[in-house]
């Protein structure tokens, strides 16, 4: 066999400053071949800036960054040949059709006309674009746009696929479609770097998650490790009458370990079995005849993850670069 390939991403002390603002702060990051890594963090954490440096769209202020063995500073063209980027905003020509967009990217990637046509047919089938292949991109839904954008990124198989917030702003159904497409790519062994604000998305798609805040990596691990550190999903029960909290708690305590917060009138039960635990709790509550305001399954959120792993809430909204990738490049 050949020598093991270089890491898809290898960042050491990667830093990007815009004037006084440090968007990415001495970030160390490594993505192994065939790994799916999620960069998880709130808006403004520096995810998009990191991705833009990897894609050679921004120049690092300091630190080193190699992508697929090529240095972004000295060999940007080789980096561009190795990667494909699907940005936060689907980068398609609105006034061309889905098929015309794919053809253009295929031709720019150097495929001759006839080969490009065959390739587009394959991509259209693979990404289920057939229904709207001849519709203008500006007329298709957000989810369909993302699919065309993903297809455009896969005109040639990249050594590294970079997805910047692939489902931000999508409705749940479109999100599911994008996830299933990405899962297929992952099953196919592609190396993927993904940024997201959603813990659930990172959990569903990634092998490894790096938590990023204010441009620094603050924690990393497998989804299972992170979830272990954050805590389980829980079922929260809130009796209507504060006086019945203890009574209900004693009934539920026969089946579950639980935490009671009398001030907030809340009984919280770890629910590793998700929906089945929820059903059992709901049945017990109904049988008890105690009136409740709410029985709800709570998934840990990005805020919970930050609180559990870093001891503080994520910093949000401090900078605009993730919202506006073009905002302050100077």
Partner 1 sequence: MSTYALSPTVAAPEVQASRFRRYQSETRLLVGRSLRTIPHVPERLSDVTIQPIVFTLLFLYVFGSAIHVPGMRYQDFLLPGLLGQSIAFGVIGAGVATAGDFSSGVTDRFKSLPVTRLSVISAQVVGQVIEQVLGIVIVAGLGLALGWRPDLDLASGAALVGLVLLGLVAFTWFGVLLGMLVRSSDAVQGLGFAIVFPLSFLAGTFVPIEGMSAIPRTIAEWDPISAFVASVRRLAQGTRSTGSWQLEHPIVSMVGWCLLLMAVCVPLALRRFTRMSS
- Residue closer to partner 1 (CB basis): 33 or 270: 33
3-class secondary-structure state, position 84? strand
- Residue closer to partner 1 (CB basis): 297 or 328: 328
- Residue closer to partner 1 (CB basis): 251 or 328: 328
- Residue closer to partner 1 (CB basis): 188 or 257: 188
Min separation Cβ 53 and partner 1, Å: 10
Q: How far is CA 85 from the centre of its chain?
A: 14
Min separation Cβ 87 and partner 1, Å: 6
Partnered with residue 242 across adjacent β-strands are none
The alpha carbon torsion through 316, 322, 326, 329 (nearest 10 deg) reads 70
Min separation Cβ 96 and partner 1, Å: 6
The alpha carbon torsion through 123, 129, 132, 136 (nearest 10 deg) reads -50
- Residue closer to partner 1 (CB basis): 130 or 228: 130
**DSSP output for 90-122:** ----TTSBHHHHHHHHHHHTT--HHHHHHHHHH
Min separation Cβ 250 and partner 1, Å: 56
- Integer Cα distance of 241 and 32 in angstroms: 54
Min separation Cβ 311 and partner 1, Å: 36
- Residue closer to partner 1 (CB basis): 125 or 241: 125
Min separation Cβ 182 and partner 1, Å: 12
- Integer Cα distance of 105 and 111 in angstroms: 9
- Residue closer to partner 1 (CB basis): 126 or 299: 126
Residue with tokens 């109904």: 286
HEC letters along 181-200: HHHHHHHCCCCEEEEECCHH
Q: Whose CA is closest to 178, among 90, 102, 300?
A: 90
Rg of the chain over Cα atoms, rounded to whole angstroms, equals 23
**Strand locations in 214-308 (E):** 216-221, 234-239, 259-261, 266-270, 292-298
Residue 50 gets the label, from left (phi > 0), alpha (psi -120 to 50) or beta, of alpha
Q: Whose CA is closest to 319, among 311, 327, 309, 308?
A: 327
Min separation Cβ 293 and partner 1, Å: 45
- Residue closer to partner 1 (CB basis): 110 or 317: 110
Please give the residue ranges that form the binding site for partner 1 (CB under 8 A): 55-59, 72, 76-77, 80-81, 83-85, 87-96, 100, 104-105, 107-112, 115-116, 118-119, 122-123, 125-126, 136, 152, 154-157, 185, 188, 190, 325-326, 329-330
Min separation Cβ 107 and partner 1, Å: 5
């Amino acid at each position: 066999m050949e020598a093991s390939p270089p890491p898809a991403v290898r960042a050491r002390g990667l830093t990007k400053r815009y004037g006084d603002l440090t968007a990415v702060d001495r970030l160390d990051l490594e993505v192994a071949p065939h790994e799916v890594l999620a960069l998880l963090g709130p808006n403004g954490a520096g995810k998009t800036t990191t991705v833009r440096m990897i894609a050679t769209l921004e120049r690092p202020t300091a630190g080193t960054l190699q992508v697929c063995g090529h240095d972004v500073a000295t060999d940007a063209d080789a980096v561009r040949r190795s990667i494909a980027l699907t940005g936060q905003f689907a980068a398609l020509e609105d006034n061309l059709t889905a098929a015309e967009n794919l053809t253009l990217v295929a031709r720019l990637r150097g495929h001759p006309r006839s080969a490009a046509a065959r390739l587009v047919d394959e991509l259209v089938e693979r990404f289920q674009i057939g229904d709207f292949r001849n519709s203008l991109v500006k007329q298709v839904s957000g989810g369909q746009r993302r699919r065309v954008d993903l297809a455009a990124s896969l005109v040639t198989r990249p050594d590294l696929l970079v997805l910047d917030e692939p489902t931000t702003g999508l409705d749940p159904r479109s999100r599911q479609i994008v996830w299933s497409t990405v899962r297929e790519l992952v099953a196919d062994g592609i190396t993927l770097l993904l940024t997201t604000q959603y813990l659930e998305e990172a959990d569903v798609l990634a092998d490894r998650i790096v938590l990023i805040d204010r441009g620094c990596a603050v924690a990393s691990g497998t989804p299972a490790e992170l979830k272990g550190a954050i805590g389980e999903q829980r079922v929260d029960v809130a009796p209507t009458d504060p006086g019945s909290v203890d009574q209900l708690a004693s009934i539920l305590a026969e089946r579950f370990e639980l935490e009671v917060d009398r001030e907030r009138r809340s009984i919280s039960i770890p629910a590793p079995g998700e929906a089945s635990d929820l059903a059992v709790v709901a049945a017990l509550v109904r049988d008890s005849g105690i009136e409740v305001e709410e029985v709800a399954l709570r998934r840990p959120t990005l805020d919970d993850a930050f609180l559990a792993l870093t001891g503080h809430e994520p910093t949000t909204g401090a900078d605009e670069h993730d919202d506006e990738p073009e905002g302050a490049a100077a």
